[in-house]
Amino acid sequence: MLTKILLLRTQGLEFRRKPIPWYRKIGQDVELDKEINEIDMAVKAVIELDKEVRLKRAYLRKELKRRELKRRELKESKS
């Protein structure tokens, strides 16, 4: 179950747990709820970091291309 939640979260899909059945006492699975919440928070943090890394990579690629063009222009102007 927890693996399924983790997989769905990393793929950007939401996983909605079924509503608590009427026969389950409130707070019966407090530990499980805490664990699921911790996993959710960790996955959200990983997704945020992934977004930041992708943005940084895109910026660095752009910067590298800009520097290569600048270097080529300098070479051509010297020739």
How far apart are the C-alpha atoms of 52 and 56, rounded to whole Å?
A: 6
**Residue pair 10/46 in contact by the 8 Å Cβ criterion:** yes
Token pair of 9 as six digits:
């979260």
Which stretches of the chain drop beneath a pLDDT of 50? none
Q: Quote the CA–CA distance of 66 and 74 in Å, as a whole number.
A: 12
Domain positions in the chain are 50-79
**What's residue 71's pLDDT?**
94
For position 78, what pLDDT does the model report? Answer: 83
The predicted pLDDT at position 22 comes to 53
Instruction: Give the residue among 68, 14, 24 at the shortest CA–CA distance from 6.
Output: 14
Per-residue pLDDT, 41 = 87
pLDDT at 70: 94
